[in-house]
Amino acid sequence: MLLIYRGLRSNQQLRTLREATLVPQHCLFAVRFQLGVKISPQVERGEFLTTRKDSFLRMFCAISGASPLHPVVSVKSGYVYERDLIEKYLKENDGKDPITGDILALSDLIDLKTVPSAPAPPPRPPNLSSVPALLLTLQNEWDANMLECYELRKQNASLRQELSHALYKEDASMRVLARVIKERDEAREALGSVQSSLGINPTSTANTNADDIVMKDASGTLGLSEAVLERIDTTSQTLMAKRKKRKVPPTYASSEAIKSYVQTTSIPSLHSTKPPGVTCLQVTGMDDTLVVTGGMDKVVQIYDRAAEKVVATLKGSTKKISSILVVGGQQATAEALPKMIIATYDKTIRFWVPSEKKAGYVAAGTIVLSAEVTGIDLHPSETLLLSGSLDGTWAIHDLTTSPGSPSTILTVALSDVATNTGITSVKWHPDGVILATGLSNSALKIFDVKTANCVADFEGHTNNGGGSVVSMSFSENGYSLATAAQASPAIKLWDLRKLSNYHTISLPEGFQPNVVKWDMSAQFIGVVGNDLRVWKNKTWEELVHYDSNAAELTGLDFVKEGKEIIVGGMDRTVTILSGPADAPAPDTE
C-alpha cells in the first residue's frame, strides 16, 4: 500500500504521524529500518511517499472503528478519524476532541493521503444517479449511527463507573445501618427507662430480667395507678425542662476555692454517749441552717446553726437510725420545722409532722416492712417514698393519702439473685422515672418505675472485692451514678447512657467508704469514711483531704453553692469546712 503524507514539516507533526501510523521511532526516516518501507525523496514539495514491500498496517477511525476513506490525524492527540465523522462531531460538541475532551479545531486535523495500488475511479456525483444519492444517504445515516453509538459507549462507560461507586456506597451504608440497628435492638431492652429519663421517648420497654417479680399492690392490680404514673410523668417533664435551662451560677464555689477549705466550725456532743455516734446526716432549711442527724442512740436531732442549739428531738425508734429524709425543707426554719421521715433497723418507717400546739413533733403514722429497712429516698415530687429492705425487696409508698396513713402502692422482690441477697441502698433518679438499688452482693440494678422492670444490671464492686453497696448518688444532670461499697477501696462511676463503668476512683488500702455524694453542680464528688476526700469531676484532681476527725465519718453534704462541706461522724461531732475567709471572727471580749 502506498501512503503520501502532505504538509508534515515540524517535529511535532512527524511524531503525531508516527504515532498514528504505529511506527515506533522518533522520525519517519526510521520506517524503513523497522517495517521495510522505502521513502521516496519528495522533500522539496513537503510530501513523503512510502511503499511497503508487504501489506501495510491498516488504520482505523477512533470513532467508528472502521478503516477511514478520508483519514485525518489530530496533531494534539494523535488519533486518526474519518474526516466527515470528526467534523460532524466537532460541530455538534462545541469543538471538543471525542477522546480527550480537549478543544480541537479543524486546522488541527491533518489529511493522510492514501494512494492505493489499484485506485478505483471516483463515483459519479450523487445528482447524476439515484444510486449514488442513495449511497450518500446511507453513508450519512451510517455516520450518524456511528456518532450516536460512540456517544452511547461513552455514556455507558460513565454510567457503569457511577453505578459502581453508588453500589459501593450503598453497600457501606447498609453495613453501617445494619450495625446501628443491631446495637439499637440490643440496647433497647436495657435502655428503655434510661432513655425516657434523659428526655428520649423509647419506642418500647422490654423486661430484661424475667425473674424480677412484680408483686400486687393493695388494690390487687399490677403496677402503679394511672394517677401515680401521671404524677411521675409530669414531675419528670417539668424537671427536665428546668434542667435544660439551668446553668451553674457564677457565685458557685470554684475548684481553687475548695482546695483552700479548712475546718471552720465544729458542733460537738450531739446525741447520747451510750452508744455514741452519728449514723446519717442531712442539711436543710432556707439558708441551710438546720442540720438533721440520726444516731446510734435511736434518736433524730435537728440542730439550728443560727441559734447554736438543738431545736427538736424525735424519739420512738427501737434500733439505730439508718436513714432520714426531710419533706418541704427548702422553706423550713427553726420556727417552721419541716416534716420528717425516719427509717430504722427495726423494720419500721416513721412519719413525723410539726406539732400545732407546742414546739416539737408528733407522730403521723408508720409503715412496717418485712425486714430491716436499709435505705429510703424521696421522689422529686415529694409525694412518693422509696424504701429498700434486707429481704431483697423495694417498695413505693404514696404520701398523698389521708394524714397518718401513708400507703404502700407497689412492692417488688428480686428472685434472680442468690438466697439471702438483700437490698442495702436505694436512690431515685433526679427525674424520678427510674431508681437504683444496691445489693449486698456488690451488684447494682436499675429499675423502670412505671413498669417495675429491671432495665440495667451492673457488676458493681464485685471485681474490687467489695461487700454491700452502702451508698449511691446520681449527678444532678442524671447522666452519672456514683457508688461505694463496704470493703471496696474504690468509688465507681457509671454512665447511664452507655451503661458502663467509665471511671474508678481508687482509695487507700483499708479505706472504708460510708457515703458518696455529688454536689448540686456535678462538678465535685466527695466520699466520707476513714476521712473526707473531694475530687473534681473529669480531671479527678483531689481537692480536699480532711483527716482531723476523731472517729469514722458517716454523713456528708455540700451546701450554700458548694461554699460549705458538712460532715458528721461516730465521734458525735458535726464538722463544717469552708474557705478561711468564711471562718467566724474570733471573740474579742
Closest to 340 in 3D by CA, of 408, 329, 348, 330? 329
Q: Which long-range contacts (CB under 8 A, 24 or more apart) does 364-371 make?
A: 364/339, 364/403, 364/404, 365/403, 365/404, 365/405, 365/406, 367/397, 367/406, 367/408, 369/393, 369/395, 371/347, 371/422
* The three-state (H, E, C) secondary structure of 101-134, written as one string: CCECCHHHEEEEEEECCCCCCCCCCHHHCHHHHH
Residue 534: burial class (beta carbons within 10 Å; 0-12, 13-18, 19+): buried
What is the pLDDT at residue 403? Answer: 56
State yes or no: pLDDT of 208 exceeds 70.
no
How far apart CA 366 and CA 103 sit, in angstroms, is 96
Least confident of 34-38, 70-74, 324-328, 388-392: 34-38
What is the pLDDT at residue 10? Answer: 43
State yes or no: pLDDT of 217 exceeds 50.
no
Segment 283-298 shows an average pLDDT of 92
Q: Quickly count: other Cβ atoms within 10 Å of residue 66's Cβ.
A: 12
Beta bridge partners of 505: 491
Torsional class of 30: left (φ above 0), alpha (ψ -120 to 50), beta (otherwise): alpha
What is the pLDDT at residue 131? Answer: 77
CA distances from 575 to 266, 279, 285, 291, 553 (A): 5, 14, 18, 11, 10
CA atoms within 13 A on the CB side of 8: 27
CATH annotation of 213-582: 2.130.10.10
Segment 380-402 shows an average pLDDT of 91
What is the pLDDT at residue 258? Answer: 94
Residues 6+ apart with CB under 8 A from 560: 287, 288
How far apart CA 290 and CA 339 sit, in angstroms, is 13
The residue that leads in pLDDT, 267 or 358, is 267
What is the pLDDT at residue 31? Answer: 38
Q: Which three cell numbers stand for residue 490?
A: 474504690
What is the pLDDT at residue 118? Answer: 41
Beta bridge partners of 525: 518, 535
| pLDDT interval class at 3 (50, 70, 90) | very low
Residues 6+ apart with CB under 8 A from 185: none
| pLDDT interval class at 195 (50, 70, 90) | very low
| pLDDT interval class at 26 (50, 70, 90) | very low
| pLDDT interval class at 330 (50, 70, 90) | confident
How far apart CA 398 and CA 408 sit, in angstroms, is 6
State yes or no: pLDDT of 219 exceeds 90.
no
pLDDT tens digits, residue range 431-446? 999 999 999 989 999 9
How far apart CA 5 and CA 27 sit, in angstroms, is 13
State yes or no: pLDDT of 123 exceeds 70.
no
Percent of the chain with pLDDT over 70: 79
Least confident of 72-86, 280-294, 366-380, 396-410: 396-410
How far apart CA 403 and CA 362 sit, in angstroms, is 12
Least confident of 39-43, 400-404, 424-428, 436-440: 39-43
State yes or no: pLDDT of 204 exceeds 50.
no
Query: What would you measure as the largest C-alpha separation in the chain, in angstroms?
Result: 140
CATH annotation of 2-122: 3.30.40.10
Q: By three-state DSSP, how is residue 290 classified?
A: strand
Q: Quickly count: other Cβ atoms within 10 Å of residue 388's Cβ.
A: 31
Helices marked H in 261-370? none
The residue that leads in pLDDT, 116 or 25, is 116
How far apart CA 383 and CA 328 sit, in angstroms, is 11
The residue that leads in pLDDT, 449 or 19, is 449
Helices marked H in 21-82? 31-34
CA distances from 348 to 205, 227, 368 (A): 33, 27, 5
pLDDT tens digits, residue range 245-284? 888 899 999 999 999 999 999 999 899 888 999 999 999 9
Torsional class of 7: left (φ above 0), alpha (ψ -120 to 50), beta (otherwise): left
Which helix (H) or strand (E) segment holds residue 389: the answer is strand 384-389
Q: Which three cell numbers stand for residue 188?
A: 433497647
pLDDT tens digits, residue range 448-505? 999 888 999 888 887 766 789 999 999 998 899 999 998 888 999 999 999 999 999 9
Closest to 546 in 3D by CA, of 564, 560, 561? 564
CB 397, CB 410: distance < 8 Å = no
Residues 6+ apart with CB under 8 A from 299: 271, 272, 313, 314, 315, 317, 321
What is the pLDDT at residue 8? Answer: 42
Tell me how far the alpha carbon of residue 197 is from its chain's centroid: 15
What is the pLDDT at residue 55? Answer: 42
| pLDDT interval class at 22 (50, 70, 90) | very low
Segment 74-85 shows an average pLDDT of 91
Closest to 395 in 3D by CA, of 232, 207, 149, 218? 218
Residues 6+ apart with CB under 8 A from 150: 63, 64, 89, 98
What is the pLDDT at residue 127? Answer: 56
Phi, psi of 182, rounded to the nearest 5 degrees: -65, -45
Least confident of 163-172, 357-366, 407-416, 575-584: 575-584
How far apart CA 511 and CA 333 sit, in angstroms, is 37
How far apart CA 309 and CA 302 sit, in angstroms, is 9
Tell me which residue has cell 426554719.
333
Residue 126: burial class (beta carbons within 10 Å; 0-12, 13-18, 19+): middle
What is the pLDDT at residue 574? Answer: 94
Closest to 486 in 3D by CA, of 456, 462, 518? 462
Domain layout of the chain by residue ranges:
2-122, 124-206, 213-582
How far apart CA 223 and CA 427 sit, in angstroms, is 19
Closest to 544 in 3D by CA, of 225, 259, 244? 259
Q: What is the mean pLDDT of the chain?
A: 81
pLDDT tens digits, residue range 513-534? 999 999 999 999 999 999 999 9
* Predicted TM-score (pTM) of this structure: 0.61
Kind of pairing, strands 290-295 and 444-448? unpaired
Segment 130-149 shows an average pLDDT of 83
The residue that leads in pLDDT, 335 or 24, is 335
